[in-house]
Chains A and B, each alone.
Chain A
Amino acid sequence: MAAVEIKNLTKNFDIEGHAVTALSNVSLTIEKGDIFGVIGMSGAGKSTLVRSINFLEKPTDGSVYIEGVDLGTLSERELRRMRSRIGMIFQNFNLLEQKNVIDNVCFPLEINGTKRKEAKKRALELLGLVKLEDKAKAYPSQLSGGQKQRVAIARALATDPQLLLCDEATSALDPQTTGSILELIREINEKLGITVVIITHQMSVVTDICKKVAIIDNGRLVEEGLVEEIFSAPKSDAARELLSGKKVSYKPLEKLEEGRRIRIVFRENSAYEPVIANLILKLQIPINILKAETQNVGGKAVGEMILGLPDNSNQQEDIILELKNAGLTVTEVHENE
């Protein structure tokens, strides 16, 4: 049974009398134990989607199943019990500012009626997991952003959830802290087997930790699949834009015109081989490297490069042939500005 199943979800908001569609007919299946990324530009509907998973936002149409249970059929009370078994963390941490760290972690247990002593014991265990035992008595205002998010993670885990929802959980953090929080989330996923849904607008977060990803654009699900596949051969414009940070499109390669640019993606083995150097040595043609990056996609080294080719179309053909023979994915880059 899938951890989360979203079927034909549509959500409209009523803004001063007229309907704004935040999500339109989104269907998605998230398997148990996955780290599932949802990525999209600002306003795409990511938060609305994740808030629909625990019914903080009730769908206008369509349904959400958590481990086979249709949330739409639950009473308010049953829904609250269901929510208490789904952990959630946020961009702004959302800790109780007037409670200290341990009381924050105890809070969901206080809500579900766990005895104080038991709750405290559990909270201390969790603070150990997020490596903040020494901050138990501190108040949120005395913590750094990364520490606050660790407390929020401990709090989200207090009720032993099977599902953890993360809405832009690292967007307020610097790159280094982002890395350590993502590492913690991965650890939780592996150790505790918790399914994780990560909402983000940063491709690096997805490539860092997610196995699968869904791309949301303008309220629609435009692409879905393994991170590796989408990274090397993005099909939708939205995916390409998120990959490059610019409005570009990678067209299937046909005949290159003069001065065109190509994008190549290195996989596993080839990422460690000096492909470009070999190419230049072999063909004796100058190649302009416009962008080059190696990323860790799902634990594998994947490189991305944007090359500027010489004007001569015969030379271009030679280069592309060579690259393809080396086992690389080659697509053409168009800038849409």
Chain B
Amino acid sequence: MNENVIAMLISGIGETLYMTLGSVIIGYIIGLPLGILLYVSGKNGLRPCMPLYRALDFICNIIRSIPFLILLILLIPFTRLLVGQSYGSTATIVPLVVCAAPYIARVVEASLTDVDAGVIEAAKAMGASNMQIICKVLLVEAKTSLITGFTITTGLLLGYSAMSGTVGGGGLGDIAVRYGYYRWQTDIMVITVILLIIIFQIIQTAGMKISKKLDHRKR
């Protein structure tokens, strides 16, 4: 295999990681507070507020029901407005975040809902404020399930970042499509697929290990 191809694959890995991690991080910056808000305003939340909950719930469901590829195309004007261009890996982060944030919000909400109501009650009885309950009880007690959610979300975004390659998003997916599909260089396509699988496995294994290690519930 010539050096150009190797250099291209390495930069492809870099771009893929950049898109995945970038979108996960920005996704969590938006999705985590959103998920907490969903939990807090929900029926059994700390401060139920059904109009707010229904509005957030509706927005999340709408975005999540749009297939990613269509979202990618729908968002082109918005992406251009935000980053100045609609192709390349930075531009791809925009639709990835839009797709990920509501998903993350749901995952976070589910993790928080799993926290034992009795523990929250005990914290209330100690005089904890809602903010203290969120930061010191909910996020702490739910940490292993939050990490599991983070791992699954990262895996999902790795896949979506590869998908965005089909429309010139950069990264390993882009390489696979350009060489494998348009030029019939199956060997390069197979390599990129193997690389994607390896990255996916590393993320999954590390995430699950960390989550298990931090869990003090049973041992």
- Chain A residues with CB under 8 Å of chain B are 54, 56, 80-86, 88, 90, 92, 94-100, 107-108, 110-112, 139-142, 152, 159, 165
- Chain B residues with CB under 8 Å of chain A are 116, 118-119, 121-129, 132, 136-137, 140-141, 143-144, 214-219
Check A95 against B132 for contact (C-beta < 8 Å).
no
Cβ–Cβ < 8 Å partners of A83 in chain B: 124-127
Distance between Cα atoms of A218 and B97 in the complex (Å): 54
Distance between Cα atoms of A98 and B140 in the complex (Å): 7
- Given the known interface contacts A99-B140, A141-B218, A141-B219, the answer about A94 and B118 at a Cβ–Cβ threshold of 8 Å is yes
Cβ–Cβ < 8 Å partners of B219 in chain A: 139, 141-142
Check B216 against A90 for contact (C-beta < 8 Å).
no
Check B125 against A54 for contact (C-beta < 8 Å).
yes
- Given the known interface contacts A80-B128, A139-B216, the answer about A56 and B140 at a Cβ–Cβ threshold of 8 Å is no
Check A81 against B127 for contact (C-beta < 8 Å).
yes
Choose from A98, A99, A111 the contact partner of B126 (Cβ within 8 Å): A111
Check B126 against A90 for contact (C-beta < 8 Å).
no
Distance between Cα atoms of A86 and B125 in the complex (Å): 8
Distance between Cα atoms of A99 and B214 in the complex (Å): 11
Cβ–Cβ < 8 Å partners of B116 in chain A: 92, 94, 97
Cβ–Cβ < 8 Å partners of B124 in chain A: 56, 83
CB nearest to B128 among chain A residues: A111
Check A98 against B217 for contact (C-beta < 8 Å).
yes
- Given the known interface contacts A111-B136, A139-B216, A141-B217, the answer about A95 and B119 at a Cβ–Cβ threshold of 8 Å is yes
Cβ–Cβ < 8 Å partners of A97 in chain B: 116, 119, 141, 216-217
B123 CB → nearest A CB, Å: 7
CB nearest to B115 among chain A residues: A97
Cβ–Cβ < 8 Å partners of A107 in chain B: 123, 126, 136
Some 11 contacts from A to B, beta carbons below 8 A apart, are A80-B127, A82-B127, A83-B127, A95-B122, A96-B141, A98-B141, A98-B144, A99-B216, A108-B127, A140-B216, A152-B122
Distance between Cα atoms of A86 and B119 in the complex (Å): 16
CB nearest to A138 among chain B residues: B216
Check B137 against A80 for contact (C-beta < 8 Å).
no
- Given the known interface contacts A94-B116, A97-B216, A141-B216, the answer about A111 and B132 at a Cβ–Cβ threshold of 8 Å is yes
Cβ–Cβ < 8 Å partners of B217 in chain A: 97-98, 139, 141
- Given the known interface contacts A110-B136, A111-B136, A141-B218, the answer about A96 and B127 at a Cβ–Cβ threshold of 8 Å is no
Check B126 against A108 for contact (C-beta < 8 Å).
yes
CB nearest to A103 among chain B residues: B140
Check A96 against B137 for contact (C-beta < 8 Å).
yes
CB nearest to B215 among chain A residues: A98
Cβ–Cβ < 8 Å partners of B121 in chain A: 56, 90, 94
Cβ–Cβ < 8 Å partners of B215 in chain A: 98
Identify the interface centre among B116, B119, B140: most chain A CB within 10 Å of its CB: B119
Distance between Cα atoms of A82 and B140 in the complex (Å): 25
Cβ–Cβ < 8 Å partners of A112 in chain B: 127
Cβ–Cβ < 8 Å partners of B143 in chain A: 98
Choose from B119, B126, B216 the contact partner of A100 (Cβ within 8 Å): B216
B10 CB → nearest A CB, Å: 40
Identify the interface centre among A54, A98, A111: most chain B CB within 10 Å of its CB: A98
Cβ–Cβ < 8 Å partners of A98 in chain B: 140-141, 143-144, 214-217
CB nearest to B124 among chain A residues: A56
B206 CB → nearest A CB, Å: 20
Cβ–Cβ < 8 Å partners of A111 in chain B: 123, 126-128, 132, 136
Distance between Cα atoms of A127 and B121 in the complex (Å): 23
A211 CB → nearest B CB, Å: 24
Cβ–Cβ < 8 Å partners of B119 in chain A: 94-97
CB nearest to B143 among chain A residues: A98
Distance between Cα atoms of A95 and B141 in the complex (Å): 10
CB nearest to B132 among chain A residues: A111
B51 CB → nearest A CB, Å: 18
Cβ–Cβ < 8 Å partners of B144 in chain A: 98
Identify the interface centre among A54, A80, A83, A94: most chain B CB within 10 Å of its CB: A94
Check A90 against B122 for contact (C-beta < 8 Å).
yes
CB nearest to A108 among chain B residues: B126
Cβ–Cβ < 8 Å partners of B128 in chain A: 80, 111
Identify the interface centre among B119, B122, B144, B216: most chain A CB within 10 Å of its CB: B122
Cβ–Cβ < 8 Å partners of A100 in chain B: 216
Distance between Cα atoms of A95 and B216 in the complex (Å): 12
Check A56 against B141 for contact (C-beta < 8 Å).
no
B73 CB → nearest A CB, Å: 43
Check A92 against B132 for contact (C-beta < 8 Å).
no
A255 CB → nearest B CB, Å: 53
A187 CB → nearest B CB, Å: 22
